[in-house]
């Protein structure tokens, strides 16, 4: 089989199960691509060639015996470098953790192994998943494969880069304020930030204890769903937006999708290309038979302020003591951001948590009118890597933080290209427990958007098609 890189997760597993392709051949294909692209893209902090091939040989042995194979048999995945993989360094991209080698897998990694996945290496990220890009860490920042001069999003930056560049089929990232959704949007892949209790955080370095989530990223919605089904602790029927329709097939006749009203002030902040993609997303759902309604979300500034207070206080509680004790072992961006959180008083933290309940109730009420809410991922298309302001999250409201603060699942998918040839992504939020329905909608939208990211054809702008309209 010559075109290994064109295979989806399901196709790769079927080829290995039928012994038309060996897991070793597939793993070597991805290892060779990593060897060729790593220097330019810095997608990984560690590539475990020997262990990856050993895992692949074990999968091939199962296939030869006729044993049942797991849902991810022979599928090469990367793991964000704040998640433990047994006997592999968990550096969190920090000098403070370079010698840390865990003795056991994180729960999410153990579930991947039970599904016969190939853990191929550790994906680059921002230091302890907070802040960046940084240029004073043990590893250089990951670079966007669409144009290496541009920011790939963060903090799960290496995960998005590795998938988009064809250096793995999927990755496990984390999301505290958009850290799965931002790189998914900037790199043109699909990422899910699930709800609480869905995926275990055991063996994952904490950042903000009430806002951290673990989730899958992949080339398309179906692949992302397959990974999610393997690692999720919570399964069962998903909440939907009404009867009728077949969202996964592009029939949205049962879908009621909310778009933010003008009063949310997105229009004055959105880049015109991002705004156009947002409008077209609603048009595609409407064209598929869905209903579009304007919804009045609570103030974006209020959500951002309360969520930032909670997050910064929790980051400081987790990390400020260690930063003060070993100041020189941390990068400038991380230590500056972390110590800034010490200025938040306990009363302010409690006030933020109290406001969280009020805001959640207000948004929950919107789901009585609509089943889902669509939002941009970023105000602007990806910018230059060296131009990212280290304190941008204080100056510009973060749309993504809403889902973390209010514990709502959200899926991100590519919705076109900017004028500079970089992907633009949108996200769809649902009520708690709606992950399966979000995957259905994303699969249906993909058929209309027709965003082509097959890395073996070349992950370059001219090979992708923009949204119609």
Query: Would you name the residues annotated as active-site residues?
Result: 80, 155, 179
113: which 2 tokens? 């192994």
* Residue 408 region by backbone torsions, left for phi larger than 0, else alpha for psi between -120 and 50, else beta: beta
CB 356 within 8 Å of CB 406: yes
With b for 16 or more beta-carbon neighbours within 10 A and e for fewer, the 407-416 pattern comes to bbbbbbbbbb
Rounded to the nearest 5 degrees, what angle is found at the Cα of 163, between the Cα atoms of 215 and 274?
Answer: 80
CB 101 within 8 Å of CB 203: no
CB 375 within 8 Å of CB 282: no
| Closest C-alpha to 197, from 37, 17, 32, 409 | 409
| Closest C-alpha to 114, from 161, 63, 59, 157 | 59
SS3 310: helix
Beta pairing partners, 256 = 291
437: which 2 tokens? 């329905």
> In whole angstroms, what is the distance from residue 235 CA to residue 68 CA?
22
- The answer to whether the peptide bond before residue 133 is cis (omega within 30 degrees of 0) is yes
Kindly state the DSSP code that residue 5 receives in the 8-state scheme.
Answer: G
CB 288 within 8 Å of CB 251: yes
| Closest C-alpha to 186, from 469, 453, 450 | 453
Beta pairing partners, 192 = 411
Q: Within the chain, what is the greatest distance between any pair of CA atoms?
A: 62
DSSP H helical segments within 91-191, as ranges? 107-114, 157-164, 181-187
SS3 292: strand
351, with CB counted inside 10 A (0-12, 13-18, 19+), is: middle
> In whole angstroms, what is the distance from residue 194 CA to residue 199 CA?
8
For the chain, give the number of residues: 469
359 phi, psi to nearest 5 deg = -65, -40
């Amino acid at each position: 089989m010559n075109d290994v890189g064109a295979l989806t997760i399901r196709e790769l597993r079927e080829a290995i199960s039928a012994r038309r392709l060996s897991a070793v051949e597939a793993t070597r294909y991805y290892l060779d691509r990593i060897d060729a692209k790593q220097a330019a893209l810095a997608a990984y902090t560690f590539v475990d060639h020997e262990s990856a091939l050993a895992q692949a040989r074990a999968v091939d042995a199962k296939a030869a015996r006729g044993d049942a194979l797991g849902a991810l048999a022979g599928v090469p995945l990367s793991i964000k470098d704040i998640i433990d993989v047994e006997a592999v360094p968990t550096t969190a991209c920090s000098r403070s953790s370079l010698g840390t080698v865990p003795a056991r897998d994180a729960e999410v990694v153990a579930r991947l192994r039970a599904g016969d996945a190939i853990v191929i290496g550790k994906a680059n990220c921002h230091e302890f998943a907070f802040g960046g890009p940084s240029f004073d860490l043990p590893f250089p920042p990951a670079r966007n494969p669409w144009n290496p001069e541009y920011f790939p999003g963060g903090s799960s930056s290496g995960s998005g880069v590795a998938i988009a560049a064809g250096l793995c089929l999927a990755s496990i990232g984390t999301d505290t304020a958009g850290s799965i959704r931002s790189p998914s949007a900037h790199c043109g892949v699909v990422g899910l930030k699930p709800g609480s209790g869905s995926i275990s955080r055991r063996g994952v370095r904490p950042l903000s204890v009430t806002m951290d989530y673990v989730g899958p990223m992949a080339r398309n919605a179906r692949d992302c769903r397959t990974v999610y089904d393997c690692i999720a602790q919570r399964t069962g029927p998903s909440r939907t937006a009404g009867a009728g329709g077949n969202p996964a097939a592009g029939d949205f006749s049962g879908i009621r999708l909310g778009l933010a009203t003008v009063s949310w002030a997105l229009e004055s902040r959105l880049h015109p290309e991002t705004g156009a993609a947002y409008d077209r997303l609603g048009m595609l759902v409407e064209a598929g038979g869905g209903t579009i309604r304007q919804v009045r979300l609570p103030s974006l500034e209020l959500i951002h302020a309360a969520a930032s207070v909670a997050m910064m206080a929790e980051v400081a509680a987790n990390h400020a003591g260690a930063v003060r004790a070993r100041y020189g072992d941390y990068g400038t961006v991380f230590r500056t951001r972390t110590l800034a959180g010490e200025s938040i008083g306990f009363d302010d933290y409690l006030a933020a948590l109290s406001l969280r309940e009020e805001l959640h109730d207000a948004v929950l009420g919107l789901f009585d009118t609509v089943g889902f809410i669509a939002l941009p991922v970023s105000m602007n298309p990806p910018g230059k890597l060296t131009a990212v302001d280290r304190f941008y999250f204080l100056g510009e409201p973060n749309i993504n933080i809403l889902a973390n603060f209010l514990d709502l699942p959200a899926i991100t998918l590519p919705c076109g290209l900017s004028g500079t040839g970089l992907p633009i992504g949108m996200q769809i939020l649902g009520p708690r427990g709606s992950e399966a329905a979000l995957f259905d909608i994303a699969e249906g939208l993909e058929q209309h958007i027709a965003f082509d990211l097959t890395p073996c054809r070349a992950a370059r702008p001219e090979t992708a098609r923009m949204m119609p309209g």
